[in-house]
Structure 1
Amino acid sequence: MKILVKLAAGLLVAASFMGNAANAQTVLRSSDTHPDGYPTVEGVKYFGELVKERTAGRYSVEVYHSAQLGEEKDTIEQVRSGVIELNRVSMAPFNGTVKESIVPALPYLFRSEEHMHKVMDGAIGDQIKKAFEGAGVVVLAFYDAGARSFYNKQKPINTVEDMKGLKFRVIQSDIFVDMVAALGANATPMPYGEVYSGIETGVIDGAENNFPSYDTAKHFEVAKNYSLDEHTILPEVFVMNKAAFDKLTPEDQEIFKQAAKDSVAKQRELWAAKVKESRAKVEAAGAKITTPEKQGFIDAMKPVYEKHVTDEVLKKMVEDVRAVQ
């Protein structure tokens, strides 16, 4: 019933937007799974402030944090269909519909966050943005989500052998499922909001995520062993329903795109500070952080690349990413 109410409310807002794009006080709704104050939430809020200021109040943005409008799988469908106008989500759930989104999700592809920034801020990022339009959304920005690493409640992970037999929650993405399988573990796709109870009750042994998520979702309380393998440095996407974007005037489209670009710098600054804060917090709370030898993990990814990098477009993109210095 709650979901139906939310969807009905969203449809009313979407209808209002479509019919009154040039009118005053058009309110755009944006979803995020993370809690208030999280860097992605604050990045979208900042985007909204800039849009409101630069359109003289004609547009404003309401950010529904903490999965108020549903988990990412649900809200992706909402933004694609126009139920909501904006959404900040992981790129991985788009892997099945936007093939170019596969490349940033590939394990151990980016050498560092700086490498990822150069790639996503350049021609490769533009290529990926263009591809998303076929899925009914316009990518306004790529936001930082740091490096994702494995954590569990059973034991520290220092080698690939330590992964064997463990059950890990992953994003609902075939690449992540295959990555975990290649390491000898078992993958369980599961909504983000169910991870804590899943670990606590033994449905899963652990999950994989960045320090801020490990902290703010309190997963460190039930999974004390954090292994800094940094298997993916996967950017988030901040998207807008394409039909809604296309209804903007060319001038307003430029305002939206520039506001999003300006919000990236703000979000990255907030992200870097949050990573330091969250790592210090979980360590103080007793989390045991280990740094495994990565080469064994990297070597195990050959079948993942063979399965998912299947055509010349993706192969060329992988080569181009690796060539970025």
Structure 2
Amino acid sequence: MMNRIIWALLVVFVMQSCKKDNGVKTLYLAHTLPQTHPVHKGILEFQKALNEKSGGKLEVKIFPDGQLGSEREVLELLQIGSVAITKVSAATLSNFVPEYHILGIPYLFRDKQHQFDVLEGEVGKSILQKGSKFWLRGLCYYDAGSRSFYTSNKAIRTPEDLKGLKIRVMNNQMAINMVEALGGSPTPMAYGELYTAIQQGVVDGAENNPPSFVSSNHYEVSKYYTLDQHSSVPDVLLVGTKYWDSLSEEEKVWVQESADESSQAEKVFWNNSVEESMAKAKEAGVEIIIPDKSLFQEQSKSVLEAFQKDHPEMSEIINQIKNQ
């Protein structure tokens, strides 16, 4: 409790120190990613576009690298109005807004084109708006690639190879259910602890996208990377409704247009980063495995079935996605 109080006071201090009295509105944007990450580069495009559209009237102050807390902590800051905007994984956001659970269903999207047709279409925009009743209004999605398994001592070529392996997952029920369905032993763990956990054999592997696999240096302790691409969980750029409601209609248009433009720019940054990351992993001696994805898809069907049984109210959205 004391740590959370200190953290909250620190955030207030930082925000007060950044205030200006020259008529410029400052939007505080916090996220947990390093400044080399393609999503951060997309956020810089948002900052640039908003400055240009507003003629400097709306200024974005970015706090990267988890300076203002974890994704969950920053979401709470948005809800109370201390921070205006953040970027979080849809998996984290699902703990606040249930509809985002849908985007973590294994093999929900047929391919990348289908994914962004959905996210940028009626269904995706509808999900972005679902968070408003929780004071979290979605602005746009950022490409966060596809998550795949990587392991230290045993190659994963079929779901059978996962049996008995301890696989680190996010603290997210969908991810836990998916690894269980494929025969592995899901092990929720803080991301910052993962490198050492793999190195010391506490877990046998994990799952993530190529840029994260490389930027975290996990490729140094995981010599097998299996591109089963079991889920494609996007990142989401959000604005707190407390801040959003303080903006004029014109300012809201500037913010939304800037977000949409940054989303398109981020896709290019992401694709370039994937190519660079895969090349670096190969150079380091990581074996890249291209499995028969249909085997993983078939065995993970039970995750979707269980989700629809537990959340029948979301079946309509799922069917819309599958039929698009």
TM-score range, shorter chain: over 0.9
2:125 alignment partner in structure 1: 126
1:7 alignment partner in structure 2: 8
Distance 1:193 1:4, change over 3 A: farther
Distance 1:25 1:284, change over 3 A: same
CA contact (8 A) 1:151 1:208 kept: yes
2:185 alignment partner in structure 1: 186
Q: Does 1:68 align with 2:67?
A: yes
Alpha-carbon shift at residue 295 of structure 1 (Å): 2.0
CA contact (8 A) 1:142 1:235 kept: yes
Return the alpha-carbon distance in structure 2 between the equivalents of residues 308 and 217 of structure 1.
31
Return the alpha-carbon distance in structure 2 between the equivalents of residues 23 and 231 of structure 1.
50
Matched to 2:220, the amino acid is E
2:225 alignment partner in structure 1: 226
1:115 alignment partner in structure 2: 114
Alpha-carbon shift at residue 232 of structure 1 (Å): 0.6
1:322 alignment partner in structure 2: 322
Distance 1:245 1:212, change over 3 A: same
Of residues 44-53 and 262-271 in structure 1, the stretch that sits farther from structure 2 once superposed is 44-53
Return the alpha-carbon distance in structure 2 between the equivalents of residues 3 and 291 of structure 1.
44
1:124 match: secondary structure:
helix
Matched to 1:317, the amino acid is I
CA contact (8 A) 2:225 2:288 kept: yes
CA contact (8 A) 2:85 2:238 kept: yes
1:270 alignment partner in structure 2: 269
Q: Does 1:78 align with 2:70?
A: no
Instruction: Percent identity, please.
Output: 33
Return the alpha-carbon distance in structure 1 between the equivalents of residues 218 and 262 of structure 2.
28
1:44 alignment partner in structure 2: 43
Q: Deviations over 1:103-128 (max 9, x none)?
A: 11100111111110100000001110
Matched to 2:321, the amino acid is V
1:252 match: secondary structure:
helix
Alpha-carbon shift at residue 172 of structure 1 (Å): 1.8
* Alignment map for 1:20-169 (pairs within 5 Å): 24-169=23-168
CA contact (8 A) 2:138 2:238 kept: yes
User: How many residues end up aligned between the 2 structures?
Assistant: 322
Structure 2 gaps of 5+ residues are: none
Return the alpha-carbon distance in structure 1 between the equivalents of residues 154 and 296 of structure 2.
17
Return the alpha-carbon distance in structure 2 between the equivalents of residues 40 and 7 of structure 1.
26
Alpha-carbon shift at residue 10 of structure 1 (Å): 2.3
Alpha-carbon shift at residue 8 of structure 1 (Å): 2.0
CA contact (8 A) 2:130 2:137 kept: no
Q: Deviations over 1:95-146 (max 9, x none)?
A: 2332211211100111111110100000001110111112211111100001
Return the alpha-carbon distance in structure 1 between the equivalents of residues 4 and 212 of structure 2.
25
CA contact (8 A) 2:80 2:242 kept: no
Matched to 1:319, the amino acid is N
Q: Deviations over 1:45-99 (max 9, x none)?
A: 1111111222222222222222222232322222233332211110012223322
Return the alpha-carbon distance in structure 2 between the equivalents of residues 82 and 286 of structure 1.
47
Matched to 1:197, the amino acid is T
Matched to 2:281, the amino acid is V
Q: Does 1:250 align with 2:249?
A: yes
Return the alpha-carbon distance in structure 1 between the equivalents of residues 16 and 129 of structure 2.
26
Matched to 1:210, the amino acid is N
2:167 match: secondary structure:
strand
CA contact (8 A) 1:102 1:308 kept: no
Return the alpha-carbon distance in structure 1 between the equivalents of residues 128 and 30 of structure 2.
19
Matched to 1:271, the amino acid is W
CA contact (8 A) 1:42 1:267 kept: yes
CA contact (8 A) 2:79 2:242 kept: no
Of residues 127-136 and 58-67 in structure 1, the stretch that sits farther from structure 2 once superposed is 58-67
Q: Deviations over 1:249-278 (max 9, x none)?
A: 111011000000011111011111111111
Matched to 2:12, the amino acid is L
Coordinate RMSD, CA, aligned: 2.2
Return the alpha-carbon distance in structure 2 between the equivalents of residues 298 and 95 of structure 1.
22
Structure 1 gaps of 5+ residues are: none
Distance 1:172 1:8, change over 3 A: same
Return the alpha-carbon distance in structure 2 between the equivalents of residues 320 and 89 of structure 1.
24
1:305 alignment partner in structure 2: 304
1:216 alignment partner in structure 2: 215
